[in-house]
Structure 1
Amino acid sequence: MDEHAEDTTLSVCVVTYERPAFVDRCLESLRGERAEILDVVVVDASAQACRPEALLENDTYVHAPELAGWMTRSRNRALLHARGAVIAFLDDDVVVHPGWAWRLREAFRRTDAAAIAGRTLNGRPGEETYDAPVGRLLPDGRLTEGFAADRPQRERVDHGIGANMSFRRSVLAHLGGFRDDYPGTALREDTDIFLRVRRLGLPAYFDPAVVVDHLPAPHVKGARFDTRYKLYGRRNHMVLLARDGGLASPALRRWAVQQVRDIGEPSGARARLQRAGVVALGLGFGAVAMLRQARLSPTDPVRRDAEADRIRRALADRAPDRS
């Protein structure tokens, strides 16, 4: 028997907020996968409780309106209920391809993966081709993407995508769950946990066989890629780099310098002025945040606070069913 084979019982976690039609569609796509899934956990931060009909008796529905606007805290709440040895997270606006669960379990059976980033299709022309390495943190602080790429085989990555990501239970327990202090759109919370896995010296892979369609739902507040998104994106990216490499990180410095240089990229004075404003506010926002949340040396990847201890106890107490 493969040394990893006994560790693949699967929990699927979906967090949602005021998007019942989307979470219903996501769960419906899992119906044909249920033979491979131990349980599904839905954490719903909506104002009104509405348990999805597709959930089974063995599944868990958590109504937590106090978590509205805090997606990552909803992820951590889900960890208190998940029972599998592998814990997968799906965005509520994805639809899994047939065989998703079996292929995910197979990836953990056949590799030493601590984490798997699945292929996430957005319906964009040409997205199956990506010339750069998938999911890398570059020396200049930029992140490569490519999670829709049609690669011939699994490949090592530094980070993954939150819409379709999975972890060994033991790794999430050791880390103490997700860091839940990436505000706004929560951009970089998924990158953060993958980089923390890397800091432990454990491998993460992009697996192109573990496929979902990402059919983006509208944001409850604001619009995708609006000014709010850009400001929080810069703020959160600076915190991410400072935590991973320390406040003196060369990657952080190079990234900030490039942001300033990019002000001249748009054509037209008005566009450049707008870019300058967003960059200045975003870098200032990020500088204040990283001084509070990071230090000169890299931040310990393991959370050591009361909430992390609660998550750790929950993940240790629920021994997975080996059936």
Structure 2
Amino acid sequence: MSTPDISVVICAYTEDRWEDILAAVASVRAQSRPALETLLVVDHNEALRDRLGQEYKEAEDVRVLANAGPRGLSAGRNTGIAAARGGVIAFLDDDAVAERDWLLHFAGAYDDPSVMAVGGRTVPVWASGRRPVWFPEEFDWVVGCTYRGLPPGRVRVRNVLGGNASFRREAFDAAGGFATGIGRDGDKRPLGCEETELCIRLTRARPDAVLLIDDRAVIHHRVPAPREHFAYFRTRTYAEGLSKALVARSVGADKGLESERRYASRVLPAGVVRGLRDAALARPGGAGRAGAIVAGVLTAAGGYLVGSLRARRGAVTFSSAPIGGDGRD
């Protein structure tokens, strides 16, 4: 079976990331295995769309599109899926750059026809030049990066992480698109988990589907200075709890929290012990990392409780989008 062509979707929303967007596109164009096309989907920002349209007006391999659905990352991705011509659709964050063999490693996994999704490893690039000493690697998902606790190598997983992921087109034919009302939608609250919900729906629709992470498919994700502070850490972990409650409502707590139980019962306690040991050995940040893990667990649990109560009262809604002509829900 030949490996299908790969379309890359990059969703953008603000001119503040102009240089980052250009760098992301340049990293796709420099791939050792060329992409069929790069689709830049702009989320309800006409000035940015016009500016990108001018920037790439002569480019045959880059198309600039407007998000055809409601404001938010999920609808933007669905717009890209609907417009993409490749048999595989890859997603790259607008503030990340991919290593040269990123698509090569994705493509290799699709030689197996049962593989429906492949994710990669996302490495943080801290604005301050180095990781804050208090910031535990177990919580790197807070800044959209691969976290301690994920298995190394090319391994089967429940879900891929959306900023560095790819899906076979048939996956969307079987399961529909990304659900709106779960992930980021322009609101200040940094919600997430839309890729988790999609992957669980996919394996329900296609029980034979294989989902992988290959840690050789590497991207480097910029972490801006405000996200290096504990205030953002607290806000993001609380929002994760809210999002997990929506996922559990959509697909059931058994699947929606399956990986999280292992993470909370094994990975995080080991992280606390490691932090306390570092503190006892007078290593910088040990006590802070242990405390941040505990605080992150408690804050996420609080968000989950609040999100569950809101869901029961019908205070939140979301929809699983079919992929159609213009990407609308």
State TM-score, norm by structure 1: 0.68
Aligned ranges 1:20-31 → 2 under 5 Å: 20-31=18-29
Task: Identify the structure with the greater helix proportion.
Answer: 2
- Deviations for 1:93-132, whole angstroms, at most 9, x for unmatched residues? 111111222222122124631000111112577xxxxx99
What residue number does 1:32 align with? 30
Of the three residues 187, 192, 217, the one matched with 1:187 is 192
Compared CA separation, residues 91 and 223, structure 1 to 2 (3 A): farther
Q: Aligned-pair distance for 1:167?
A: 0.2
Partners of 1:44 and 1:111 in 2: how far apart?
A: 32
Of the three residues 78, 81, 88, the one matched with 1:79 is 81
Aligned ranges 1:1-323 → 2 under 5 Å: 3=1, 5=2, 7-18=3-14, 19-33=17-31, 36-45=34-43, 46-48=45-47, 49=49, 50-51=51-52, 53=55, 56-64=59-67, 67-68=70-71, 70-110=72-112, 112-123=114-125, 145-146=147-148, 151=152, 153-183=153-183, 184-199=189-204, 200-201=206-207, 202-217=209-224, 225-245=232-252, 280=302, 283-289=305-311, 292=314, 303=320, 307-308=321-322, 311-312=323-324
Unaligned runs of 5+ in 2: 132-136, 184-188, 273-286, 289-293
Compared CA separation, residues 109 and 204, structure 1 to 2 (3 A): same
Partners of 1:212 and 1:248 in 2: how far apart?
A: 28
Q: Aligned-pair distance for 1:286?
A: 3.1
Partners of 2:296 and 2:111 in 1: how far apart?
A: 50
- Deviations for 1:185-237, whole angstroms, at most 9, x for unmatched residues? 231112212222222311101112211111234789x9983554333221111
Partners of 1:39 and 1:31 in 2: how far apart?
A: 9
What residue number does 1:140 align with? none
Q: Aligned-pair distance for 1:156?
A: 0.4
The residue type paired with residue 37 of structure 2 is: D
Partners of 2:41 and 2:149 in 1: how far apart?
A: 25
| Other structure's SS at 1:162 match | coil
- CA RMSD of the aligned region, Å? 4.4
Q: Aligned-pair distance for 1:81?
A: 0.9
| Other structure's SS at 2:216 match | strand
Q: Sequence identity of aligned pairs in percent?
A: 21
Compared CA separation, residues 161 and 207, structure 1 to 2 (3 A): same
| Other structure's SS at 2:39 match | strand
| Other structure's SS at 1:8 match | coil
State TM-score, norm by structure 2: 0.67
Q: Aligned-pair distance for 1:253?
A: 12
Unaligned runs of 5+ in 1: 126-130, 136-143, 295-301, 316-323
